[in-house]
């Protein structure tokens, strides 16, 4: 898959659509590809995490650091698979798996006490002390 929407073939679209389990229509995939190309400023075929921070809505998200761990270095197919959890056509199971991955910050397959504390730090910032977080 190239860096312009004209280089996205019908085969590519169908492959991506199948990979994301039909969470997006073919037209939506083309639109996502155009956005991907805008974010891929270096034309290297993947988006480094700092490019995501250039999106204002992403940069202010309190969970952006956890999301960046999942996003760094995604190619287009992986980018669409990541975004598929936000699609209204995604299954509940897919959405739950995605949320679990956001909170499993050490990627050990468990959401530990440490993972929950990290999420609380991200969500509460300076408005809650470490002791209050631990008690919570």
Query: Quick one: 11 and 48 in the same domain?
Result: yes
Query: Quick one: 53 and 115 in the same domain?
Result: no
Residue 37 neighbours by CB distance under 10 Å? 20
Residue 112 neighbours by CB distance under 10 Å? 13
pLDDT of residue 4: 43
Q: Where are the alpha helices (DSSP H) in 1-136?
A: 10-19, 26-39, 49-52, 56-59, 64-71, 76-83, 92-103, 113-124, 130-135
Query: Quick one: 123 and 58 in the same domain?
Result: no
Return the CATH number at 76: 1.10.238.10
Total count of domains within the chain: 2
Asked whether residue 39 is domain-assigned, the answer is yes
Query: Quick one: 49 and 112 in the same domain?
Result: no
Query: Quick one: 22 and 60 in the same domain?
Result: yes
Query: Quick one: 131 and 76 in the same domain?
Result: no
Asked whether residue 98 is domain-assigned, the answer is no
pLDDT of residue 51: 85
pLDDT tens over the chain, length 136 residues? 544 445 889 999 999 999 999 999 999 999 999 999 998 988 899 988 888 888 888 888 888 888 888 888 889 999 999 999 999 999 999 999 999 999 998 889 999 999 999 888 888 888 999 999 888 8
Domain that residue 112 falls in: 104-136
Q: How far is CA 37 from CA 32, 57, 96, in A?
A: 9, 18, 29
Asked whether residue 96 is domain-assigned, the answer is no
Query: Quick one: 84 and 123 in the same domain?
Result: no
Helix (H, G, I), strand (E, B) or coil at 16: helix
Query: Quick one: 83 and 129 in the same domain?
Result: no
pLDDT of residue 114: 92
């Amino acid at each position: 898959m190239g860096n312009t929407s004209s280089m996205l073939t019908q085969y590519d679209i169908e492959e991506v659509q199948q990979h994301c389990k039909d969470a997006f229509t073919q037209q939506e995939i083309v639109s996502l590809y155009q956005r991907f190309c805008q974010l891929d400023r270096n034309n290297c075929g993947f988006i480094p995490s700092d490019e995501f921070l250039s999106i204002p809505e992403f940069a202010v998200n309190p969970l952006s650091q956890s999301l960046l761990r999942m996003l760094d270095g995604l190619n287009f197919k992986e980018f669409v698979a990541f975004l598929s959890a936000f699609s209204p056509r995604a299954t509940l199971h897919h959405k739950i798996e995605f949320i679990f991955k956001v909170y499993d910050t050490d990627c050990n397959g468990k959401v530990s006490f440490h993972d929950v504390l990290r999420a609380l730090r991200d969500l509460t910032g300076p408005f809650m002390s470490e002791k209050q977080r631990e008690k919570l």
